[in-house]
Amino acid sequence: MMKRDECFRVLTRHVTDEVLVSTYSSAVDWLNLGERTLNYFSVGAMGLDSSHALGLALGRPNKRIICLQGDGSLLMNLGCLVTIAAAAPKNLVHIVVQNGTYEANGGHPIPNTEADFAAMARAAGYAHVHDFSQLANFEQQAAHVLKQDGPVFATLHVEPSKPLTYDYPNLYDPARRKALKAALQQS
């Protein structure tokens, strides 16, 4: 079993000019690793991070879009797997962090902690699907996963993390959205 922040540190070695979409606990852990203009924190409607990512991927087909989504969030929008697979954006990498809990809402378990999201993504029709439980394996494959023609799906099996501090005013800050939009218009 991996730790989410360790997995994200691996991603920071490969993420450059991609737009990274995230919400709640994943967004907090990702932001703790550093500020960047091309972060899109879609806090406010849990589950729709993957849909925001699809919109960005369609709107900017020449830019890579990475979605870091929690398992509880995906469960609130499971149909997005079929929608994304049908839209088939080549530039979208959809990573689901599976810790088996609604972490931001008290750490209660999701209805089935053994749910196989990679199998669901494969059945929905994603172009490439991965499933990682070992950090060494993820480290070895991360660059490849991020560069594949999408839609790409990867599950990261992680253990519940230490309690996080949710600074929603910071995540919600309209200045972030304004800066992201300006950056996308220039790119």
Partner 1 sequence: MDADLLTEPDDKIELKGSGIIAAIKASGIEYILSVPDIVTSGGLLRPIARDPELKLIRVCKEDECIGIASGLSYCDKRALTLIQYTGFLDSINAIRGIAVEYGQPICMMIGLLGHDPYTTPRNSPRYGVRIIEPILEAMGIPHHLVNEEPDVAKIRPAIEDAYAKSHPVALLIGRRPSAS
Residues that bind partner 1 (CB under 8 A): 21, 40, 42, 44-45, 47-60, 77, 79-80, 82-83, 86-87, 177, 180-181, 184-185
Choice between 48 and 95, CB closer to partner 1: 48
**From CA 143, how far away is CA 82, in angstroms rounded?**
25
Q: How many CB atoms lie within 10 A of CB 161?
A: 18
- In the complex, what is the shortest distance from the CB of residue 162 to partner 1, in angstroms, rounded to a whole number? 27
- In the complex, what is the shortest distance from the CB of residue 46 to partner 1, in angstroms, rounded to a whole number? 9
Least Cα distance to 87 among 49, 62, 51 occurs for 51
Choice between 15 and 48, CB closer to partner 1: 48
**From CA 13, how far away is CA 109, in angstroms rounded?**
31
Residue 56 exposed, middle or buried by CB count within 10 Å (0-12, 13-18, 19+): buried
Q: Is 44 left (phi over 0), alpha (psi -120 to 50) or beta?
A: left
Choice between 61 and 109, CB closer to partner 1: 61
Choice between 44 and 109, CB closer to partner 1: 44
Choice between 52 and 130, CB closer to partner 1: 52
- In the complex, what is the shortest distance from the CB of residue 121 to partner 1, in angstroms, rounded to a whole number? 14
- In the complex, what is the shortest distance from the CB of residue 21 to partner 1, in angstroms, rounded to a whole number? 8
- Chain-centre distance for alpha carbon 163: 20
- In the complex, what is the shortest distance from the CB of residue 13 to partner 1, in angstroms, rounded to a whole number? 26
Q: Can you read off the two tokens belonging to residue 155?
A: 């599950």
